[in-house]
């Protein structure tokens, strides 16, 4: 005996639900803003991992005394962590330079240069902004066709599943 009409309806609903879920996941994956956010999260995560490997992580519940002790050990710990890693040593030196530089007031020359940069910032930022917008447009254009093809494929699969289910419903077994 062939499948019952109730069983065929159930299979049809399951197929529709599966296809709907597939289309939703596909739309989620191909959405340019979401893809950009995923990339940004991945980059941020990698940067935090590098920072944690170089600088170490603070332990929750450290007391002030423990923090002072750790700060006193910082130069030796940095030397040990950066041993054989010139990139890490350079990052630590750069960070230390930024910290020391932030403690002193800017010189007259630095103030002048800063003002020039502010005055011409639009000229400096415009090419980068234009390039970023162009890359975003290009990514959208490149993703549009694969997304359409994927949606078309899912639609074709859904239609074929519906036809197959209808054939099975009409055919006595």
* 82-126 residue pLDDT tens: 566 777 777 777 887 777 777 778 888 888 888 888 888 788 778
Integer Cα distance of 119 and 116 in angstroms:
5
- Whether residue 155 has pLDDT greater than 80: yes
In angstroms, how far is CA 10 from the centroid of its own chain? 39
Check residue 82 and give its pLDDT. Answer: 58
pLDDT higher at 3 or 173: 3
Would you state the pLDDT for residue 71?
62
Residue 148 has pLDDT above 70, yes or no: yes
pTM exceeds 0.75 for this model: no
Distance of alpha carbon 26 from alpha carbon 148, whole angstroms? 10
What is the pLDDT averaged over residues 117-140?
A: 81
CA 74 to chain centre: 32
**27-77 pLDDT, tens digit each:** 777 777 777 777 778 777 877 777 666 665 555 455 566 656 666 676 676
Angle at 130 between CA 125 and CA 132, to 5 degrees: 95
C-alpha–C-alpha distance, residues 106 and 89, integer Å = 26
For residue 2, the model assigns a pLDDT of 66
């Amino acid at each position: 005996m062939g499948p019952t009409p109730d069983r065929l309806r159930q299979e049809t609903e399951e197929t529709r639900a599966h296809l709907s879920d597939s289309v939703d996941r596909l739309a989620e994956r191909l959405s340019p803003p979401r893809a950009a956010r995923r990339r940004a999260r991945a980059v941020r995560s990698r940067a935090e991992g590098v920072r944690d490997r170089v600088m170490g992580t603070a332990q929750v519940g450290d007391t002030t005394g423990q923090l002072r002790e750790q700060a006193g050990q910082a130069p030796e710990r940095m030397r040990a962590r950066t041993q054989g890693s010139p990139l890490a040593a350079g990052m630590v030196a750069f960070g230390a330079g930024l910290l020391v530089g932030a403690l002193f007031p800017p010189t007259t020359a630095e103030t002048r240069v800063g003002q020039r940069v502010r005055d011409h910032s639009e000229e400096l930022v415009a090419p980068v902004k234009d390039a970023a917008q162009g890359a975003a447009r290009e990514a959208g254009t490149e993703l549009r066709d694969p997304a359409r093809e994927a949606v078309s494929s899912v639609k074709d699969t859904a239609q074929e599943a519906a036809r197959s289910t209808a054939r099975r419903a009409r055919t006595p077994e």
